Chain A
Amino acid sequence: MRSVVPVLAVVAVILAIWYLACLPMNIHTALTNAERAGVAVQPEGAAERRDRSGIGLALTNPGQWADTWAQDKPRLPAPHQVLAELWDTTAMKKVTSKRSLVFHGWITLSATLLGFAIGTGMGIVLAIGIVHSRAMDMSVMPWAIASQTIPILAIAPMIIVVLNSVGVQGLLPKAIISAYLSFFPVVVGMVKGLRSPDAMQFDLLRTYNASRGQTFAKLRLPASVPYLFASLKVGIAASLVGAIVGELPTGAVRGLGARLLTGSYYGQTIQIWSALFATAVLAAVLVALIAGAERMTLKRMGLGR
């Protein structure tokens, strides 16, 4: 709560800079529009202005500033334009409408959640394997790291096509791409967590003659919970990115990713920005939900202080 004032201050500064940045960013178009409408601008001719800096042009043509904040397809939309679009496409549309961001957000969210579940499950299973089998640790870990250096956008279409050829369609392919991005942080965090108890804690269980299974259930697993949650927060954000990437090669018909893409086909910058912000808000909400679950669980476990 102590952060409210600083955050507001920072947001205010960002908004101010943003509005200012619209001037040089959009001034070229503003001048061209004005010229077409017969207003005199400095200098004349779009070709002439092409290599001029936006800042210089903005300074010499203060009369066109207002237009830089009100264009249809600006290079940088002004904050109020994005907000208006967000408002228009969430609150003002029925959630079942194709033009509603809530509708598209839900499509993306469902793939995200499914992918997150798959990825987290896989990550946990892999981590359990890795801490219990040296062979698995040594063979899998380097490749798990390497797998993350592959640009997912490049293989996403192939995953879709391959799955399609074995008859898997719809939500699942997107979820698998999203799982691919989210499993890695979970593996890393979970391995760390399962290994986090110190030697003494293991020794203690040995003096009780505890079995492997008991050691896992009574020591490793509870000890890993804080680590797991830390990874889940990274993982859910990665899942969302994965779901969006997965939407691009599925015909890009529905979902926030499709909104981003179709927005860019038609140069609808305002639509792109509002889809972007919707995504970020969705990510923030998801992370906050996990953080809430984390607080609750840790408190139950007596770890939250």
Chain B
Amino acid sequence: ASHSDNSVKLQLQWVTQAQFAGYYVALEKGYYEEEGLDVTILPGGPDIAPPQVLAGGGADAMLNWMPSALAAREKGLPVVNIAQPFKSSGLMLTCWKDTGITGPQDFKGKTIGVWFFGNEYPFLSWMSQEGIPTDGGDDGVTVLKQGFNVDPLIQRQADCISTMTYNEYGQVLDAGVSPDELVTFKYEDMGVATLEDGIYVLEENLADPMFKEKMVKFVRASMKGWKYAESHPDEAAEIVLEYDETGAQSEAHQKRMMGEIAKLTAGSDGSLDEADYQRTVDTLLAGGSDPVISKAPEGAWTHEITDEALK
């Protein structure tokens, strides 16, 4: 492929929302333009696998959770992490308090909603660490493939569901539930956190210096966007709303989301922390009978881009 032009296509892993505020801010504020880049942001959705889009040449870079990206790497799609704007994980399980759940061991016999599509790995490895089978029964948990809203919890079809601190948890509260009625388990607190929203590209492209240079500019501008978003959350949320073409987002929701997102990006300057990486890999390797990755990956990340960008 020719990387001599200055266009960059970024595949998001979800619909337009404040989770991706940094990129929209960089676009809106002209940071990309300043770098001489012409950036297109492609929203995602439940039917879009960003690695597949990357493989098909539909995008130059993608956002992905690391478990999913590492799994893709083992499947023969060599993606490489070039930057990690999210320092901490926002993933958690949210349960009704009145189910009597106080700790992971109480999950036995309960029904739990989990996101699949490559996002089930952290949960599975957590359960295997706790020694809880995931195939139903009184001693195990019954797993549901959760859709992308909080209905299963509200309707009490599940005792616990997966939520993101910045999104679904807020939706539960919006439904009128007070935090006292809920128990939450953050993966971060349980020691099973895996890295989320990183920027990935195809390994073969990195061999091309032109492409590398483009990515350097892209990451630099993006991080500038992120930092601006962190310090101006309300403005960032409004920018996101501006770019949402579905017209389905509400302002209140996006502002709150931006507030939570800022907490997750806070500790990162964009470069991947090797310790976080190692913890993610360890968690995944500890996964149960059907592990996400069977061996520690090689070359799944690089500091070359961030080193250059942050100079």
Q: Given contacts A47-B99, A165-B56, is CB(A251)–CB(B45) below 8 Å?
A: yes
Q: Given contacts A47-B98, A156-B47, A265-B149, is CB(A252)–CB(B246) below 8 Å?
A: yes
Which positions 92-126 of chain B face chain A at CB distance < 8 Å? 96, 98-99
B215 interface hit (Cβ, 8 Å): no
Compute how far the CA of A266 lies from the CA of B246 in the bound complex, rounded to whole angstroms. Answer: 12
Q: Given contacts A29-B154, A161-B56, is CB(A99)–CB(B43) below 8 Å?
A: no
A267 adjacent to B42 (CB under 8 Å): no
B297 interface hit (Cβ, 8 Å): no
A249 adjacent to B48 (CB under 8 Å): yes
CB of B306 to closest CB in A, whole Å? 27
B45 adjacent to A268 (CB under 8 Å): no
Query: Which B residues are in CB contact (< 8 Å) with A249?
Result: 45, 47-48
**When each residue 44-77 of chain B gets 1 if its CB lies under 8 Å from chain A and 0 otherwise, what string results?**
1111110011011110000000000000000000
Which range holds the interface residue count of chain A?
35 or more
Query: Which B residues are in CB contact (< 8 Å) with A169?
Result: 58
Give the tally of cross-chain contacts (CB within 8 A). 103
B148 adjacent to A251 (CB under 8 Å): no
B84 interface hit (Cβ, 8 Å): no
Which positions 252-287 of chain A face chain B at CB distance < 8 Å? 252-254, 258-259, 261-268, 271
CB of A36 to closest CB in B, whole Å? 6
Q: Given contacts A161-B52, A251-B42, A267-B149, is CB(A46)–CB(B47) below 8 Å?
A: no
B58 adjacent to A267 (CB under 8 Å): no
Query: Which B residues are in CB contact (< 8 Å) with A161?
Result: 52-53, 55-56, 58
A253 adjacent to B246 (CB under 8 Å): yes
CB of A133 to closest CB in B, whole Å? 36
Which positions 34-50 of chain A face chain B at CB distance < 8 Å? 36, 45-47, 50
A268 adjacent to B171 (CB under 8 Å): no
A264 adjacent to B149 (CB under 8 Å): yes
A264 adjacent to B96 (CB under 8 Å): no
Number of interface residues of B (CB under 8 A): 39
Query: Which B residues are in CB contact (< 8 Å) with A33?
Result: 176
Of all chain A residues, which has the CB nearest B45?
A: A252
Residue of B57, B147, B149, B150 most packed against chain A (CB within 10 A)? B149
Compute how far the CA of A262 lies from the CA of B246 in the bound complex, rounded to whole angstroms. Answer: 7
- Chain A, interface SS category: helix
Query: Which A residues are in CB contact (< 8 Å) with B151?
Result: 267
Compute how far the CA of A249 lies from the CA of B117 in the bound complex, rounded to whole angstroms. Answer: 14
Which positions 169-214 of chain B face chain A at CB distance < 8 Å? 171, 175-176, 178, 181
B247 adjacent to A97 (CB under 8 Å): yes
Compute how far the CA of A263 lies from the CA of B57 in the bound complex, rounded to whole angstroms. Answer: 30
Compute how far the CA of A265 lies from the CA of B249 in the bound complex, rounded to whole angstroms. Answer: 10
CB of A265 to closest CB in B, whole Å? 5
A262 adjacent to B58 (CB under 8 Å): no
B275 interface hit (Cβ, 8 Å): no
Query: Which B residues are in CB contact (< 8 Å) with A248?
Result: 45-47
Compute how far the CA of A165 lies from the CA of B55 in the bound complex, rounded to whole angstroms. Answer: 8
B245 interface hit (Cβ, 8 Å): yes
CB of A64 to closest CB in B, whole Å? 14
Q: Given contacts A164-B57, A251-B45, is CB(A45)–CB(B98) below 8 Å?
A: yes
Choose one: A98, A100, A104, A261; the contact of B46 (CB below 8 Å).
Answer: A261
A262 adjacent to B248 (CB under 8 Å): yes
Query: Which B residues are in CB contact (< 8 Å) with A254?
Result: 245-246
B16 interface hit (Cβ, 8 Å): yes
Choose one: B99, B148, B175, B248; the contact of A73 (CB below 8 Å).
Answer: B175
Choose one: A75, A165, A268, A271; the contact of B58 (CB below 8 Å).
Answer: A165
B156 interface hit (Cβ, 8 Å): yes
Beyond contacts A157-B48, A262-B15: 18 other A-B pairs, Cβ-Cβ < 8 A, are A46-B98, A47-B96, A73-B175, A98-B247, A156-B47, A161-B53, A161-B55, A164-B56, A165-B55, A251-B15, A251-B43, A252-B43, A252-B47, A253-B245, A261-B46, A264-B147, A266-B149, A267-B150
